[in-house]
Structure 1
Amino acid sequence: MTTRARTTADSDLAPDSRPAPGGSSGGPGDPAALHLVLGDEDLLIERAVNGVLAAVRAASQEGQNLQATRLRAGEVAVNELAEMLSPSLFAEDRVIVLDAAGEAGKEPAKLVADTAADLPEGVHLVVVHSGGGRAKSMVPALKKAGAQVHDCAKLKPQQRGEFVRGEFRAAGVRAAPEVVEAVLAAVGSDLRELASACSQLVADTGGKVDAAAVRKYYAGRAEVSGFDVADKAVAGDRAAALEALRWALQRGTAHVPLADALADAVNTIARVGAAGRGDPYSLAGSLGMPPWKVKKAQAQLRGWRPETIGRALQVVATLNGDVKGGSPEPDYALERAVLRVCALRAG
């Protein structure tokens, strides 16, 4: 069996080696030996792995000369993996990154689970696992063995705002709510693109990022996607919502993020409406959403009634199934849902 292994050199480390949200690489003085990078969000996985490598190198006498070996679980021979996880004569530092661990065969999965609880001195094992696959039992086994878990699950639409805010915060910029909203509207849902946009905006504006700057730099970008479409739909602006949807689809925006954004907008209106009138800052805590989002939903509620909100919730629930394989024509399903939401708002 051919094994695809490669050595991770310094050039493989992303400029931003911050760990993914939900996990940390451990202090440089005492990095953990066993790590479980759990999820399927590529950017967060990359950051988590790079964070671990940086921490181990910082604590190792070899420093940046320390090399890491990456293996794909479904393609590695069990005897090669066993050799890498075995003790060495001088207990020198080693970093082994096992990618796509959910694909591991029965023997490699058992070897990893058995070895994880008592790794040899100097060995640092980073297991990248989606949480599913034929070797999904590896996840609880590694957790039981004391693995440091890095949460790299796909972010939900309502979590992307905090991600953008965190990107700006890491660059030393405090982003106002309208800036976060403008970035999400202008760039879309791809985390790598969002991270790149935040970095570029900070660099191009000298850290003075406002909503006008975002609109200036990203004017005309079609990936402005779901949030723009959703805002127009819940406002009952039929022509503008259809134009935004068709433009986004023509430029290749994926169906699921568009549907997610529409569902998020309708669900937010439903939750804020059910909470009754009140100060956005007071309601934010109980609703679990930022004040600016509560305030925005309160404005969008005008023209909606409890019964039409209920029907809109049914529309977006149906759409969710349609764009995930339930309909042979997801483009049509999206357009139909947008038109229905617009009609409910107008009615």
Structure 2
Amino acid sequence: MAAGKAKIPQLGYGDARPAPVVLISGPERFLADRTAQTIRDALRAEDPALEIHDIEAAAYGSGELFTIASPSLFAEPRLIRVDGVEKASDAFIADAKRYLEHAAEGTTLVLRHGGGQRGRGLLDAVRGEAGLALGAVEVVCAEIKRDGDRLAFAQAELRRLGAQLSPAGARALVAAYAGDLGELAGAIGQLVSDRGQRLSEEDVERATEGRVEAGAFKVADAATAGNVADALFLLRQALLTGTDAIPLLAALNMKVRAMARVFAARGSAGELAKTFGMAPWQVERAQRETRGWREADLARAVDLGAQTEWLLKGGSRDPEYALERYVLFIARRGR
């Protein structure tokens, strides 16, 4: 059974809650860990005597699940967390299917499946009639890759912490922590801890000072805004302080591709955002940045970005000059 056709409730990680069986599906490890922690904390709040047991599905031995789930003398509630169901042994899959028919009272079983076909029959059973009868739920932790999704995550983290920050400030945070999602969440938590709940863009700038990604987006913003002098100054400053050219180029290419996507597009920002996998504010900004460009010159910019990447990766003895030429081309709108 496909996840989209599941009979049990499918929740976002922010809505995770305990249930007799909780399936945590999807490849985004940080969100999966956050979900498991939320469930554990909720169960502990109900009963501090909660017993917690961890199982590695790949190393599982037959009967282990039923031994752990069997009632104890004092009937303490149990949380059984099973990791790596996508690598589960045949014994675990067989026992887990049996468990769905004979679930233990007072026990919460959390199944973590990171993706792939292994264990699909078990997932179908959890999502189907057996899971529905038990009151199972699924928490979907899809991979977060797109800038718009990362921005939405950052804004959700800020709301969770009761903090306020402008969209521009949140975007700067996302740009500065463009890698691991946990690092972004940790940075937001630290920022709120250090600066309080009413945050400014200046707070973000001070907190992210020296981050490679933040410097890269400053260069890209100046170039696409047509500020030739600022773009060159920021580029040279970044290179002099040891910033690698590749992240600088990546930030430029990201903005140029966004401009190319929206250049001749028609429709509202919301409609175009859905079409192009962008946030509405990204569409509006890209549309503003295309002003003064001709379509042919923007197409040349896309080609020049690909050529510059080749030059930076060994095709030139002077990669910094190649990057500077690309920045100038963008800042002068292809002129």
Does the aligned pair in 1 maintain the 2:86–2:115 contact within 8 Å? yes
Deviation digits for residues 214-246 of structure 1 (CA, Å, limit 9, x no counterpart): 112221122437755754675687866698599
Match of 2:194 among 186, 204, 210: 204
**Partners in 1 of 2:239 and 2:30 — Cα distance?**
27
Report what 1:154 is aligned to. 143
**Partners in 2 of 1:86 and 1:340 — Cα distance?**
70
Q: How many residues align?
A: 304
Deviates more, 1:189-198 or 1:218-227: 218-227
Report what 2:35 is aligned to. 48
1:55 Cα offset (Å): 2.2
Residue 292 in 1 paired to residue 272 in 2?
Answer: no
**Partners in 1 of 2:181 and 2:249 — Cα distance?**
15
Does the aligned pair in 2 maintain the 1:23–1:149 contact within 8 Å? no
Q: Provide TM-score, normalisation by structure 1.
A: 0.70
**Partners in 2 of 1:311 and 1:138 — Cα distance?**
51
Does the aligned pair in 2 maintain the 1:71–1:99 contact within 8 Å? yes
Match of 2:95 among 90, 111, 128: 111
Query: 5+ residue gaps in structure 2?
Result: 1-10
Equivalence map 1:121-270=2 (5 Å): 121-132=105-116, 134-144=118-128, 145-146=131-132, 147-156=136-145, 157-224=147-214, 227=217, 231=221, 247=242, 249=244, 265-270=255-260
Q: Provide TM-score, normalisation by structure 2.
A: 0.72
**Partners in 2 of 1:24 and 1:102 — Cα distance?**
23
Task: Name the Cα RMSD after superposition.
Answer: 4.0
**Partners in 2 of 1:245 and 1:117 — Cα distance?**
62
Which protein has the larger Cα radius of gyration, Structure 1 or Structure 2? 2
Does the aligned pair in 2 maintain the 1:32–1:148 contact within 8 Å? yes
Deviates more, 1:33-42 or 1:226-235: 226-235
| Higher relative contact order (CA closer than 8 Å, sequence separation 6+) | 2
Residue 64 in 1 paired to residue 64 in 2?
Answer: no
Paired-residue identity, %: 33
Deviation digits for residues 257-283 of structure 1 (CA, Å, limit 9, x no counterpart): 985x6665345324433344x8xxx63
Equivalence map 1:16-95=2 (5 Å): 21-22=12-13, 24-26=15-17, 31-59=18-46, 63-86=47-70, 92-95=76-79
Match of 1:274 among 264, 269, 272: 264
**Partners in 1 of 2:164 and 2:85 — Cα distance?**
38
Residue 24 of structure 1 aligns with an amino acid whose one-letter code is D
